[in-house]
Structure 1
Amino acid sequence: MQEQSSNYRGYRSFDYLEPHADFTVFDLAPELGRVPEHDLGLDTDQSARVTRLLADNHVISLHEHPKILTSDPHQLREYNHTGRNAMGYEGLAKSGMSAFFDNFMNGTNCVTSEHGWKWNDVVYDLGLRFADVAKQDHVVLARTFAEIERAKANGQIALVAGLEAATMIENELDRLDILYGLGVRQMGIAYSMANQLGSGLSEPQDGGLTTFGHRAVERMNKLGIAIDISHSSDQTSLDVIAASSVPVFITHAGARSVWPTNRMKSDEVILACAERGGVIGLEAAPHTTLSKRHPRHSIESVMDHFAYCVDLVGIDHVAFGPDTNFGDHVGLHNSFSGHLAISQAHGHVDYPKVPYVAGMENPAENFTNIVGWLVKNDYADDAIRKAIGSNILRVLKEVW
């Protein structure tokens, strides 16, 4: 595991408040050491190369939820209902990342409702996270390309605020401007279920991008909000790619040709995204990016999708969006399976269940192991540099 950043001073979420008096205290999962470290079997020279690549380059996760979950997954709903999710600052300090796209609670946001994606809940979620981040100086909110580069130069970690769907804007186009003003710089179209903009990936009928959706895409382009189509249906995804004046992201998914579920993207969508200059970030949340070679989910399964996408569209259009957090991610899925439409996304494909994804279990270990795997499998430095950060930066330069 990477050494802790020397710039991290030990801040823990809500240190500026009084526990119990100012906020509800929960028993939280450990940020580090919850599962055994993954051994890739690297030799001394390979390990040194991993350390160098992480230190010298932008290392960016295109999709994370770096909050700390409750030790007991059954308390997650009550935990989220408070609106306060603790962030894993210590784990992030060991991650090797220079930036990450934080997607907050999203579909599990149930501050005022049993279901996510309410406008007030999203604003509550954003504001409380930003307040916590503002009270320390290791993780910094990045709203411009220059701020990402400045964070790297200063030994800090840039947080790019993202949302997995635009459901909360309802039919109010100006809400996109409000979210941009609050700091949001990346947004999905739909999350599994259809909304005013288009169809999600779990809908039985694929209606594509709506008229309002076209207007929303145009507004996001004008604002400089990067668009994500990870959870959108095939036709909606293709419509968004065609409608957008700039490249779009698939921030966290895999290839349906490798694992045949709706949660994965078709070759047609991946190719269309790449042809317009976009990037696909490879997903690692439990039981998503499986493969026939590695049906028991692990880093090897994820990298089967990576290798396939590199062969399909080239190294310039592939990155990583692991979509992980600190704690029992499988327990999180079990607790919110209805909200997240997980069963509809996976369909009826059978696969062995795992308690965690070996090698890509949390944000602290993901990129050390990703770079380690790439080094072990003889990828050149330039290819690794592109996959772990520079491809994402290229798109952001154009979008922002």
Structure 2
Amino acid sequence: MKKGYKGYKAYQYLEKDIDYKGFELAKEVDRVEPYLIPLNPEDEKRVENIIKNNIVISLHDHPIITPANINELMDYEREGRECTAYEGLAHSCLDVVFDNMMDGTCIIGSKAGWKWNDVIHDMGIRSCDIAHQDFLIKGSDLDDIYKAKSEEKIAWFISLESATMIENELDRIDILYGLGARMMGITYSESNCLGSGLKEKNDGGLTAFGRQAVERMNKVGMAIDVSHSGDKTTMDTIKVSSKPVFITHIGARALWNMKRLKPDDVFKACADKGGVIGIEAAPHTTITKKHPRHDIESYMEHFEYIKDLVGIDHVAFGPDALFGDHVGLHNLFSSNMSIAENTAGQSFDKVDYVKGLENPAEASHNIVRWLVKHGYSDEDIAKVLGKNIIRVLKEIWY
């Protein structure tokens, strides 16, 4: 475990069932049978040195704990008090995590989600909890990344998967930045005032307001994510932005034909602009014909495909994992997350969890181990674990 972790549990400064409604939560460690890629002693030592000497970043995760009984999830989300998985994160090798908050489960006051007050509530509640502990450092700039690494802690950055809640108010971008958000998506699956989401049959591209929003995000120094945007909206955003753009959690449509993944021309455009592409591991996404059962091998096949397409300088990892029953969450929130539209027409082996990538901690270790086992150089591993992301953040945040 990271030495910076002292045992804090979410909201322990309050009294459970007096100050807030408590739920029995899923295990943060060993919820399912753990899996680590086996290595020989020499490679084990190399993994240890790589983790020690390099900054490891998750470009996209949800490091919270879901209820042990997944059928309580709706009530849990409506309470608006998700629990950060401090112990789980302490078992990871991450130095930085971009936490994407409630996103498609942000249903505190609305079944449809993405309401301004709900998003602000989520950011505030989680930030209050972060302020009462000393393992996660609420990040605002690159200095917080280096500080976390040196202290064996984790820099925690607020990221939002969509700008839906800003409606047609540009100044809300400034407000979100002021409250700590350092990255934001253009759309989630549904369209909004900025552009078209990936579930739409007709992608109209970035709107006039969307162009203004992209320009404002560039000006305030907020990173842009286009993972859930339609292909044309994504391409428009990359073109309009004066700064590189992230696709934080994605896979290659060339390997698995589903709308949730993106085509080669989008990846090339992102890389040509200097951007970085993170590989997605949410259940039943980064599958391939060679590996129809979702696991670390199918995931890394997507990584290698995109790496070969755009180059090692433009890839990273955004597993999009959480601590709890992720498959169960998808089943409950299928409509909000457009799960049916994304997987329509595809035949694959359904899994209860993604072996080797079950949560952010397991994913972080196995990604490093896989890269070492498959002969990647220390320099290239350093790039994909963090250096590529930091290079882009330097352009956006300063």
Partner residue, 2:276: 279
**Aligned-partner Cα distance in 2 for 1:166–1:363:** 24
Partner residue, 2:148: 151
Partner residue, 2:122: 125
Supply the AA of the counterpart residue of 2:384: A
Counterpart mapping for 1:66-81 below 5 A = 66-81=63-78
From 158, 183, 187, the equivalent of 2:184 is: 187
Supply the AA of the counterpart residue of 1:324: A
Q: Aligned with 1:340: secondary structure?
A: coil
Supply the AA of the counterpart residue of 1:30: K
1:251 aligned onto 2:248:
yes
Q: In the TM superposition, what is the alpha-carbon distance from 1:116 to its structure 2 partner? A: 1.2
Partner residue, 1:95: 92
Q: Aligned with 1:296: secondary structure?
A: coil
Partner residue, 1:200: 197
**Aligned-partner Cα distance in 1 for 2:36–2:79:** 38
1:26 aligned onto 2:11:
no
**Aligned-partner Cα distance in 2 for 1:114–1:367:** 33
From 130, 134, 139, the equivalent of 2:136 is: 139
**Aligned-partner Cα distance in 1 for 2:34–2:41:** 17
Q: Aligned with 2:294: secondary structure?
A: coil
From 377, 380, 386, the equivalent of 1:380 is: 377
> What TM-score comes out, normalization by structure 2 length?
0.99
Q: Aligned with 2:233: secondary structure?
A: helix
Q: In the TM superposition, what is the alpha-carbon distance from 1:346 to its structure 2 partner? A: 2.0
Q: Aligned with 1:187: secondary structure?
A: strand
> What TM-score comes out, normalization by structure 1 length?
0.98
Q: Aligned with 2:134: secondary structure?
A: coil
**Aligned-partner Cα distance in 2 for 1:35–1:74:** 18
Q: In the TM superposition, what is the alpha-carbon distance from 1:347 to its structure 2 partner? A: 2.4
Partner residue, 2:232: 235
- Give the share of equivalent positions with the same residue, in percent: 54
Supply the AA of the counterpart residue of 2:170: L
From 2, 5, 11, the equivalent of 2:2 is: 5
Q: In the TM superposition, what is the alpha-carbon distance from 1:41 to its structure 2 partner? A: 2.1
Q: In the TM superposition, what is the alpha-carbon distance from 1:23 to its structure 2 partner? A: 0.8
Counterpart mapping for 1:153-172 below 5 A = 153-172=150-169
Partner residue, 2:312: 315
1:367 aligned onto 2:364:
yes
**Aligned-partner Cα distance in 2 for 1:347–1:52:** 43
**Aligned-partner Cα distance in 2 for 1:87–1:251:** 21
- Which ranges of structure 1 fall in alignment gaps of 5 or more residues? none
Task: Kindly report the root-mean-square deviation, in angstroms, between the aligned alpha carbons of the 2 structures.
Answer: 0.7
**Aligned-partner Cα distance in 1 for 2:128–2:248:** 25
**Aligned-partner Cα distance in 1 for 2:146–2:257:** 38
Q: In the TM superposition, what is the alpha-carbon distance from 1:53 to its structure 2 partner? A: 0.8
Supply the AA of the counterpart residue of 1:77: M
Partner residue, 1:38: 35
Q: Aligned with 1:273: secondary structure?
A: helix
Partner residue, 2:290: 293
Q: In the TM superposition, what is the alpha-carbon distance from 1:159 to its structure 2 partner? A: 0.6
Q: Aligned with 2:65: secondary structure?
A: coil
Partner residue, 1:346: 343
Q: Per-residue CA shift, 1:55-86, capped at 9, x if unaligned?
A: 11100000000000011111111001011011
Q: Per-residue CA shift, 1:74-131, capped at 9, x if unaligned?
A: 1111001011011100010110100010001111011111121000000000000000
**Aligned-partner Cα distance in 2 for 1:76–1:179:** 26
Contact 1:68 1:86 survives alignment (8 Å): yes
Counterpart mapping for 1:254-265 below 5 A = 254-265=251-262
Contact 1:192 1:345 survives alignment (8 Å): no
Contact 2:159 2:184 survives alignment (8 Å): yes
**Aligned-partner Cα distance in 1 for 2:206–2:32:** 42
**Aligned-partner Cα distance in 2 for 1:259–1:326:** 26
**Size of the alignment, in residue pairs?**
397
- Which ranges of structure 2 fall in alignment gaps of 5 or more residues? none
